[in-house]
Structure 1
Amino acid sequence: MVLPAAHGLSVDAAEVPGRAGAVLLSARIPPKTLRVRLFLDLAVDEDAEGLSALRHEAAAWLASDAGCDLELPGEPGLVYRNAVCTGADAWDALFEDGSCELAFTAFDPVAWGQGQEVVPAGGRAGLSFVVGGTYRTLPTFVMEAAAGDGVTVEDDDTGAHVEVERAFLGGEEVIIDCGAGRAWVDGEAADSDVTLDSDFFWLEPGPHELSFTGCADFTANFTERWL
């Protein structure tokens, strides 16, 4: 396996007359190319016909045009999503010890790690936890509404918050998905009830304190992301 040491950023810049260099306008992480070697590691001996069938089965599997999850040797517990095979060298032998090099492009270039669910400690009106990984993650919140006119989740450090404003009888399940930028109440879309000053926020790696209002119960779910 050949794993890049870092992500080379794609940047947009503009030249400024009379000034050396340029002004950086934006930068983003582009899709990531991962190179691995595939071996014909057989549990039983195969004749030429059997080996040919295996090679064709591997070719069919690698030709999938739908983005798949890719787990790499040497990267335990991490998954690259939306990966497709975008390059393949020739087999170096057509026998049991044959191998070839493959190139996968991960269009979601930041690896996904362990999923976490955070529940409140007894009697607390908020959550205190640490986000692992090396890249920000977009959480999902599941809340049980109390009777009132809205529920809110807020990051105490940044002030970013999401509020669902409507009349609650109490007991409704409210889901706020920051990755999708959407909200649901008892399984029905509630995007129109999200207040205009809401901001579907991410969580940077490190400690966090979240506050919840209008809720009888609540949990936070997220997946660690790794550069």
Structure 2
Amino acid sequence: MNYIQHLNARFVDFYGDDRLHPGHFSLYMALFFYWNLHRFPEEFYANRAELMTMAKIGSKSTYHRLLKELQDFGYIEYLPAKSPHELSRVALSQNCTDNSTLMGRTRTIFGTYRPKSVPDTLYRKQYKPNKRSLGAKPRSQLEVLDSFKEKKYDLEEAFKFFNHYQAIGWKIGGKVTIQDWKAAADNWMLKARELARERKEKRALGSGDHLITTTEKDYGEPL
């Protein structure tokens, strides 16, 4: 049994059947799931509680009404249990059209449909990755923290980096949009380490700074 062909045929049938509503559709798909689970036998046991949960049906009366209607419409055959200790059985109709006829019906329904408000160029437009997929900016501050932690960067710099670029709209110099925030983060850390190294060198040379004195001076004494 070709289950893809079966589903396609059913979708086409559902499209043209004005008697159906979402309840019929959800129950049929739940039945199809269990039919697939049992490897498409001629009939299978129907567990009402499981089917109601799968189809999101909250009422037993609604469940039985939908089953009966699907049977009356020719989509299933419902075989109720004769005893409370037995499970009911269901058989799904396999009266599907052949593949060539099915494809023709599908194209007739869907192939020529096009909303008038959508220009033809939209249907010819090829897929292009957006800036988001290129990593233009992080999804959240947590993503930045995780990236800095993974690279063993200072987490305090992660907060500084995120807050700085979040405030200016993730643009370099406030003008050019960042194309890859992770590359910008690497540059940020290179600059941060360079500044830290310069501050360290200045501290090491601090004893030679004429502005730093090691003795106290009494500024109350006359010159």
TM-score higher than 0.5 here? Answer: no
Larger Rg: 2
The higher-RCO structure (CA 8 Å, 6+ apart) is 1
Task: Give the structure with the larger helix fraction.
Answer: 2
Query: Normalization by structure 2: what TM-score?
Result: 0.22
Task: Give the structure with the larger strand fraction.
Answer: 1
Query: Normalization by structure 1: what TM-score?
Result: 0.22
